[in-house]
Amino acid sequence: MKKKLDLTNMNVVFLLAALCCLLWGSAAPAIKIGYQLFRIDGSDTPSILMFAGARFLLAGFLVILYHSITQKRWVPTPKGSSAAIVSIALTQTIFQYIFYYVGLSHTTGVHGAIITGTNVFFSMLCASLVFRYEKLTIRKISGCVLGFLGIALVNLAGSGQEGLFHFTFLGEGFIVLTQIFYALSGSLVKLHSKKFDVVTLSGYQFMLGGLVLLLVGGAFGGTLARAVGISAFALLLYMGFLSAIAYTLWGVLLKYNPVSRVTVLGFMNPMFGVILSAIFLGEIRQALSWNTLAALIFVCLGIYVVNGGKAE
């Protein structure tokens, strides 16, 4: 008899979460390359939203297509799941990416990267204080602090102090709102996965969210018509695959584990991003710097502290 994969085993959780973070980390250089292939300027927010929308619409279709093949029938939206799909699409895809891209256009990359590291804090606070899935402990807070120090270190070293504490609502404020929506989406996935199949929810929320982003970007003058050859669409297909695999796996892990156990592993995401950027964008010097290696140690310590004790 075939042994079923134990999705609560910490080794399995770590490996699957690492795969998700590896895929998400590859998204950073893929997006930069995608902007070049689709000839999208960094300040062209409508076209950026269309690019993101196409990616997530494709991701949703791929999830449902694969799920339908395994089920040997087309998988429809579950009866009574409309509210669940809409709520997850709004928080995980629509609001998160609208606020993220608008915020990035009004702040620096350093500020954006550091604030993004707070999503683990918000996820634990949301799971503990709003949805009450688990208790907020000193161990969890300490692990978050260690992981966040690692993310701050890898982004701050060499950036100087000028403008470090500058804050605007349209810039840093919108990036903070992005992290709040990220945290809400994780808790909502865990909530609704008790009643509905998490893979089906993931696929249909992606399609809904991607369609909305496409329409919003198009309504404000965005375009994807400047794409350069077949390589642009091959990259878009890859991004659709990585989103489909990573977000679906992450949702499955959230379904079977405490939110804190899974979300703290998200600190690996920017670390993979730095390493893969070094490989694909030629940023070798940054990836091999002392601060990156020190940051990796802090991130690993944070993950160990949160998961080192008995799950709560």
Model confidence over 125-158: pLDDT tens digits? 888 888 877 777 887 788 778 877 776 666 555 5
Least confident of 114-118, 148-152, 282-286: 282-286
**What is d(CA 181, CA 219) in angstroms, rounded to the nearest whole number?**
23
Residue 161: burial class (beta carbons within 10 Å; 0-12, 13-18, 19+): exposed
Band of residue 109 on the pLDDT scale cut at 50, 70, 90: low
Least confident of 23-37, 72-86, 259-273, 284-298: 284-298
Higher pLDDT, 46 or 293: 46
The alpha carbon dihedral of 297, 295, 119, 250 has a sign of negative
What average pLDDT does this structure show over 73-79?
92
- The answer to whether 208 and 85 have CB atoms below 8 angstroms apart is yes
pLDDT reading at 163 higher than 80: no
Q: Which amino acid is at 40?
A: I
Cα 127 from Cα 261, distance rounded (Å) = 11
Place of tokens 């990220």: 182
Q: Is residue 234 within 8 Å of residue 77, measured between CB atoms?
A: no
Inform me whether the pLDDT recorded for 112 exceeds 80. Answer: no
Q: Residue 41: how many CB atoms within 10 A of its CB?
A: 9
pTM of the model: 0.79
For residue 37 the two structure tokens come to: 């292939």
Instruction: Tell me the average pLDDT across 275-286.
Output: 65
pLDDT, position 150: 74
The confidence score (pLDDT) of residue 36 equals 87
* Measured distance CA(5)–CA(22) in Å, rounded: 21
Q: What is the rounded distance in angstroms from the CA atom of residue 243 to the CA atom of residue 228?
A: 22
